[in-house]
Amino acid sequence: MKYKLVAIDMDGTLLNSKNEISKKNKEAIKKATDKGAKVVLSTGRIFPSALHYAKYLEIGTPIISCNGAYVAEHDKLNIIYEKPISVEVSKEIMNLAEKKEIYYHFYDDTTFFARRFSETVNNYYKLNEKIDRNERINIRIIDNPIKMMDEEKPLVYKFVFVDDDREKLLEFRKEVSKIDGVEVASSWWNNVEIMNRGVSKGRALLELCNLLSIDRSEVVAIGDNENDISMLKIAGFSIAMGNGEEKVKKIANVVTKTNDESGVGEAIEKFVL
């Protein structure tokens, strides 16, 4: 096979609107792995969430999670790459969010910390019902996250800020981008994501390619949103989803069908197999 590694985003890409993997997507991934290709999930999600879907797909390759801030084997005994945000920078980010009254959540490798109960929190509770007990996501609602950071000093890999007011979110993005040592991205129209400076799916994909001795020219990447652009640029062949952002489609080599039309399975069959 020409391509040895296929990096696939999850939300808006591999998963349909119901957060499910279609039969066509699963079968195409199985065919690719049977032929020797390594399929890697590359997501902004917390590690255990991605692990659940990787096991469903029966792929054993390392997982790129938290937008590339945490890359590890399934058993987490081998952490390939990690770059958390410092406590001081985290507190500065939180202070700005509190001042702007914007909802946020953040996470380390296993714990989902939320400022208050939200739809995302509820979705993770539902996901936990499907996950093996020893691999479930630890969910915590934090009344005073800044105080918690001082006392517990968790390794924060990623922040997510959510607001349906586009202007308010854009203004927040401009201000938080001024904080020294942060990387800013987005995975949906109503969110802003913050990682440590230099963190991206593209950087994580490079680290993984080096580990596996795979050249960039032998990599296919599939994604739909801003946080996928870095890995699409790294890959030898890049594929944008039909439902993807226009700026993603512009930099991709080709555009496949939407996530509700099994665009991933279609792309793998056409360009990988």
> What is the token pair recorded at 32?
């690719």
Under the phi-then-psi rule, with left for phi > 0, alpha for psi from -120 to 50, and beta for the rest, what region is 174?
A: alpha
Q: Report whether 121 contacts 139 (CB < 8 A).
A: yes
Instruction: Tell which residue, 178, 176, 147, 148, has the closest CA to residue 160.
Output: 176
Chain centre to alpha carbon of residue 216? 20
Q: Torsion angle, CA of 103/163/106/223, rounded to 10 degrees? A: 170
> What is the token pair recorded at 66?
């938290």
Residue ranges of alpha helices (H) inside 19-86 are 23-34, 47-57
Sequence-distant (≥ 6) Cβ neighbours of residue 122 within 8 angstroms: none
Q: Report whether 57 contacts 37 (CB < 8 A).
A: no
Q: How far apart are the C-alpha atoms of 52 and 110, rounded to whole Å?
A: 13
- Tokens 């801003």, located at residue: 226
CB atoms within 10 A of CB 132: 11
9 is catalytic: yes
Active site residues: 9
